[in-house]
């Protein structure tokens, strides 16, 4: 084992900035990061052990303690719960005789919870040894456990057919479904790979940037920064080397469109990265993918190899002298905050995924302190189409403020969950029609994931676009029978508590306090003051450094704004104060032990 660790460290040339890769390799080889490996890494990389541990302990998929030979990570997103997760979870615990967070006594099977894994259209879903299992039922869980006990390889445990499209191909072989429901100019496969590269080598980098600017495209991750402008800033920024980072850390619960792009259109994405590289003068690209999508790894590496063979990557691309660009894949290890661009950069440098202070912005000082463009998967794909068909063409779709099309990830209570490519300007009502939701049975729609807003039917005529309802593309539909506060708002709040990097005092402390308030209201101990407190205290989060912290109270704040009656129904009407402390419950155990009756 000792030599295995050394080999891995040497594979990455003892490079501190590749610590994530070193840890991922050790974790998958040994099942955890043992103390001797921590010591060796520290020694070889000239760091202290506590420094190595700070990276390890930040990420959900790294462990300092032994895990199982088989490790089951069951998704705990709100939609998973809506689709029957409770029974599935109970079956896992019962069959294995352990609780979540534990490993069986024989060291064989570990059972863990994990935040949204990007499978909201096919929940409940779990990751077992890097492979995805979707649409789980108690019956299926029993089969899986039986297979594990028989010692089957995980890849031999699928009994149904593989998913649609490329999911069924040799290098993926996954049961995941794409569920593409509506195709538009980005998702259609009309153009041949490399076509846009042939076009840009006849253009100057500034002409490429001008075309992108002309298209009016804005970042598809959610923040909506104009892409052309970002590229221009990076091009102008002084730096001996520049980088293109593609953000495929799709972690916003309810978003899964990037997973579908990575499965069906990786060539388009890589071409987009090459174009960005040409435009800003970057020679290296990094595709940062969340670890949950590791099952696509071999397939993506193969496509990169083929692109190198065709000279779409490498030196003198397309025969153009000096046009050098290559791409490497960087995996995350389970941290939602790494979807924030500066946290993503920190993580790609082998550190904890803690967002950076801005300024400086990544376009000035990003990866390894060099000018860096961080773009969303969808943005980079869209750019290829902009180059092929022109900025004017792209602008002809959508609205004035929001040009082009948007990929939506739709899930929840509807007949056709999946990925839809729509022009900007659709109303929420249109979306509900499209996804086959029964309008009379829709209580609420979560737009933009937990960090977005939950809206009620009176707002369903609002328009998706940067000018009205801005979204990274996640829409979750909740039917009338759903308990919004208990099942949605609580779930999202817990998500933010879990995924905070812990650096800002505001984001580290406030969400837990808000959760206690919400619990108090759900336990029928709340009073009007509690609602007012939550509104006031939620505002403190606006002083946090990054988008995660700033929006961590959004599930509570937007539900109080749009569903206040749900809170008011649960509070005590005739009381203005309640400590929320249940003395009877607190002394119950000691009363039972001593045979006393509480004197209250």
Partner 1 sequence: MDTIIRITIDGIECMASRGQYIVEAAKENGIYIPTLCNYPGVKPKGSCRICTVKVNGKLMTACTTPVSQGMQIENNTSELNELRKAIIELLLVEGNHFCPSCEKSGFCELQALAYRFKVMVPRFPYSFPLRKVDASHPKIIKDQNRCILCKRCIRAVKDDKGRSIFAYRRRSHRVEVGVDAKLGKLLTDELAQKAMDVCPVGSIIVKEKGFAVPIGERKYDNKPIGSDIENISVSKH
Residues that bind partner 1 (CB under 8 A): 46-51, 53-54, 57-58, 335, 352, 357, 359, 497-506, 508-510, 512-513, 516, 533, 537, 540, 542-545
Q: How far is the CB of 517 from partner 1 (least distance, A)?
A: 9
Q: Which is nearer to partner 1, 320 or 508 (CB)?
A: 508
Q: How far is the CB of 141 from partner 1 (least distance, A)?
A: 29
Q: What are phi and psi of 378, to 5 degrees?
A: -65, -40
Count Cα atoms within 13 angstroms, Cβ side, for 272.
29
Q: Which is nearer to partner 1, 574 or 576 (CB)?
A: 576
Taking the C-alpha atoms of residue 595 and residue 591, their distance in angstroms, rounded to an integer, is 5
Q: How far is the CB of 336 from partner 1 (least distance, A)?
A: 10
Taking the C-alpha atoms of residue 417 and residue 437, their distance in angstroms, rounded to an integer, is 9
Task: Tell me the β-bridge partners of 410.
Answer: 418, 475
Q: Which is nearer to partner 1, 410 or 546 (CB)?
A: 546
Beta strands in 453-571 (DSSP E): 453-455, 474-479
Q: How far is the CB of 242 from partner 1 (least distance, A)?
A: 22
Give the CA distances from residue 325 to residues 341, 402, 413, 559, in Å, rounded to whole numbers and listed in that order.
Answer: 21, 31, 44, 47
Which strands form 453-455's sheet, in the order they lie side by side? 180-182, 418-423, 405-412, 474-479, 442-447, 453-455
Q: Which is nearer to partner 1, 93 or 533 (CB)?
A: 533
Taking the C-alpha atoms of residue 535 and residue 525, their distance in angstroms, rounded to an integer, is 18
- CB environment 272-305: b (16+ within 10 A), e (fewer): bbbbbbbbbbbebbbbbbbbbbbbbbebbeebbe
Q: How far is the CB of 116 from partner 1 (least distance, A)?
A: 16
Return the structure tokens found at 20. 């994530």
Q: How far is the CB of 62 from partner 1 (least distance, A)?
A: 11
Q: Which is nearer to partner 1, 64 or 524 (CB)?
A: 64
* DSSP-H helix ranges across 327-411: 341-348, 377-389, 391-395
Q: How far is the CB of 49 from partner 1 (least distance, A)?
A: 6
Contact between 511 and 446 (Cβ < 8 Å): no
Q: Which is nearer to partner 1, 60 or 166 (CB)?
A: 60
Q: How far is the CB of 298 from partner 1 (least distance, A)?
A: 30
Q: Which is nearer to partner 1, 104 or 503 (CB)?
A: 503
Q: Which is nearer to partner 1, 581 or 599 (CB)?
A: 581
Q: Please name which of 44, 363, 343, 384 lies closest in space to residue 188, comparing C-alpha atoms.
A: 384
């Amino acid at each position: 084992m000792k030599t295995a660790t050394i080999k891995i460290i040497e594979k990455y040339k003892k490079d501190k900035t590749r610590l994530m890769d070193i840890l991922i390799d050790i974790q998958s080889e040994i099942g955890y990061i043992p103390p001797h490996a921590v010591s060796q890494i520290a020694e070889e990389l000239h760091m202290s052990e506590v420094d190595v541990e700070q990276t390890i302990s930040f990420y959900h998929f790294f462990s300092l303690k032994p895990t199982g030979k088989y490790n089951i990570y069951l998704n705990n997103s709100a939609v998973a719960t809506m689709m029957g997760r409770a029974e599935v979870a109970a079956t896992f615990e019962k069959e294995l005789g352990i609780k979540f967070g534990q490993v069986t006594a024989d060291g064989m099977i570990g059972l863990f919870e994990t935040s949204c894994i990007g499978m909201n259209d096919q929940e409940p879903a779990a990751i077992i040894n890097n492979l995805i299992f979707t649409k789980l039922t108690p019956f299926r869980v029993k089969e899986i456990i039986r297979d594990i006990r028989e010692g089957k390889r995980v890849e031999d445990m699928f009994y149904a057919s593989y998913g649609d499209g490329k999911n069924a191909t040799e290098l993926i072989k996954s049961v995941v479904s794409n569920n593409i429901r509506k195709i538009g100019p980005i998702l259609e496969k009309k153009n041949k790979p490399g076509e846009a590269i042939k076009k840009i080598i006849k253009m100057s980098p500034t002409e490429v940037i001008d075309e992108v600017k002309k298209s009016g495209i804005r970042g598809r991750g959610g923040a909506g920064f104009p892409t052309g402008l970002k590229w221009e800033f990076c091009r102008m920024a002084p730096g001996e080397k520049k980088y293109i980072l593609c953000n495929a850390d799709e972690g916003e619960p309810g978003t899964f469109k990037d997973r579908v792009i990575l499965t069906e259109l990786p060539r388009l994405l890589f071409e987009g990265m090459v174009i960005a590289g040409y435009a800003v003068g970057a020679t290296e690209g990094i595709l940062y993918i969340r670890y949950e999508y590791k099952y696509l790894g071999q397939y993506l590496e193969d496509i990169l190899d083929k692109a190198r063979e065709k000279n779409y990557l490498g030196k003198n691309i397309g025969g153009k002298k000096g046009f050098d660009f290559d791409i490497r894949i960087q995996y995350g290890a389970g941290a939602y905050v790494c979807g924030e661009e500066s946290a993503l950069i920190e993580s790609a440098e082998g550190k904890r995924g803690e967002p950076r202070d801005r300024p400086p912005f990544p376009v000035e000082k990003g990866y390894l302190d060099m000018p860096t463009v961080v773009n969303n998967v969808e943005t980079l794909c869209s750019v290829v189409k902009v180059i092929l068909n022109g900025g004017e063409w792209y602008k002809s779709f959508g609205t004035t403020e929001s040009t082009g099309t948007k990929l939506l990830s739709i899930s929840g209570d509807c007949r056709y969950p999946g990925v839809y490519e729509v022009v900007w300007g659709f109303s929420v009502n249109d979306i509900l029609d499209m996804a086959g939701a029964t309008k009379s049975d829709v209580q609420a729609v979560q737009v933009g994931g937990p960090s977005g807003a939950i809206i009620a039917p009176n707002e369903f005529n609002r328009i998706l676009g940067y000018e009205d309802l801005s979204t990274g593309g996640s829409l979750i539909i909740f039917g009338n029978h759903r308990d919004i506060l208990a099942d949605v708002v609580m779930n999202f709040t817990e998500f933010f508590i879990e995924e905070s990097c812990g650096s800002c005092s505001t984001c580290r402390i406030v969400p837990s306090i808000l959760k206690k308030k919400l619990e108090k209201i759900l336990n029928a101990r709340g009073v009007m003051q509690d609602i007012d407190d939550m509104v006031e205290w939620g505002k403190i989060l606006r002083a946090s450094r990054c988008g995660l912290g700033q929006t961590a109270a959004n599930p509570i704040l937007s539900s109080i704004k749009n569903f206040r009656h749900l809170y008011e129904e649960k509070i005590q009407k005739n009381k203005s104060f309640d400590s929320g402390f249940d003395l009877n419950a607190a002394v119950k155990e000691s009363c039972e032990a001593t045979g006393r009756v509480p004197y209250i």
